[in-house]
Structure 1
Amino acid sequence: METKVIENLQLSSPVLRSGDTIPEKYTCDGENINPALAIGDIPKGAQSLVLIINDPDAPRGNWTHWLVYDMPLIHTIEENSVPGTVGLNDFGNTAYDGPCPPIGTHRYFFRLYALDTRLGLPAGSTKEAVFLKMENHIIGTGELMGFYSH
């Protein structure tokens, strides 16, 4: 049985350092657009990227704010862009819905995955369908985390 080595992807942002507060512009209190992201160290053999932004501190559990898959091997995700196929978030939208905690300060994780395949799922697919298709195809991961409160 072949064991896949999972490499570290670099995920950063010109507007957010990991562990800092997410600027209001990228939240429900601002323009509610995605921040620009920079991607580095994409592993050899990667065929596509997946980006998932979630809030593990949400009252209903791990809340997905943005789900993008079958992204090309890009090094920049532009602000207010659609870099791939967009899945269904937990707001019921196929869009970016920024941080909007009902109470307190929440953590928001930007998780990037490099896959050795393309998922080929239709737009609007659920996170469960995406995770199922990603299984055994992840060859790299990267993470950026920011905080937000009203």
Structure 2
Amino acid sequence: MTANNPFARLPEAASFTVTSTSVDHGAAWSDEQLSSGLPGGKDLSPHLSWSGAPEGTKSYAVTVYDPDAPTGSGFWHWAVADIPAAVSELPEGAGDETGSGLPDSAFQLPNDARMARYIGAAPPAGHGPHRYFIVVHALDVESIGVPADATPAVLGFTMAGHILGRAVLTATAETTAAA
């Protein structure tokens, strides 16, 4: 699907690999990655493992974004900044309220629900399938320099001139209308 391509107007970046034991590329989220407001949902951030980042990478940022949310601006589910270049994996659940699975220097920015944590997928019932872009951004700076209370959009704007590479995994979710 090319509609609402979140990368369409961003500078091109080298590609590298991200995988997950929580979700396969193009597949539906596991119940654990859904919102706790849905049956079986647990708001657990996905496991992520990446490799092949471009030379010169000094840090990473991770974002999870739903461009299909009925908001006019999509919905940011998770944003993490200042992950050291030596880190290449985040465990499932790293994005809890305390960021317990994140490296010491990394921090979570408030998502669109204004919580500095991962919030699971919860597309409106009957709205159709939603895509969730899970992106590891390889950056040319050790710290991106945004405040911890910045929005994911501010993080994205600030990162735009520092992205060396982008590893993308896409998940889906759909909530059917009640009968």
Map of 1:58-137 to 2, 5 A cutoff? Answer: 58-61=69-72, 62-73=74-85, 74-81=87-94, 82=99, 83=102, 84-103=106-125, 104-117=128-141, 118-137=143-162
Tell me how far 1:5 sits from its aligned partner.
7.9
Could you tell me how far apart the structure 2 residues matched to 1:93 and 1:140 are?
A: 27
Contiguous gaps of at least 5 residues in structure 1: none
Could you tell me how far apart the structure 2 residues matched to 1:35 and 1:85 are?
A: 16
TM-score (norm 1): 0.90
Could you tell me how far apart the structure 2 residues matched to 1:10 and 1:126 are?
A: 26
Amino acid at match of 2:88: H
Residues 109 and 152 in structure 2, CA contact (< 8 A), matched pair in contact too: yes
Tell me how far 1:85 sits from its aligned partner.
1.1
TM-score (norm 2): 0.76
Residues 136 and 168 in structure 2, CA contact (< 8 A), matched pair in contact too: yes
Tell me how far 1:37 sits from its aligned partner.
0.8
Amino acid at match of 1:134: M
Contiguous gaps of at least 5 residues in structure 2: 1-10
Residues 22 and 92 in structure 2, CA contact (< 8 A), matched pair in contact too: no
Any idea what SS the aligned residue of 1:11 has? strand
**Percent identity among equivalent residues?**
29
Any idea what SS the aligned residue of 1:33 has? coil
Equivalent in the alignment of 1:6: 13
